[in-house]
Structure 1
Amino acid sequence: MGKNIALAYLPWDYCQPGRALAVQYFGETYPVEVASVGYKPLYDPENAKPRS
């Protein structure tokens, strides 16, 4: 995927895909974007990639 993934609990008002937020981790603040809400897969959501 080429991206870092983090799981987080968000209040419902913040749960919109594409919403920009900031996360503080060990004293550093990082810009993040809500990629998915619920159980939507982030990689190959249409299951189009062949399995080996």
Structure 2
Amino acid sequence: MLAEVWGILETVEDPELPIAITDLGLVRTVQVADGRVSVRLVPTWTGCPA
């Protein structure tokens, strides 16, 4: 299931750039436990409104 989650994240583009969030290095960690998925994202800069 972890590989499936990463595959889905690879299709999610940054709202300002046509680049996948995984390619930008925004996805820090992905955890799957007990049927739940936890994704930790890191903004590209400290003032990022996301």
User: When the two structures are superposed, what TM-score results if normalisation uses the length of structure 2?
Assistant: 0.24
User: When the two structures are superposed, what TM-score results if normalisation uses the length of structure 1?
Assistant: 0.24
Quick check: which one's helix share is greater?
2
Q: Return the index of the structure with the highest Cα Rg.
A: 1
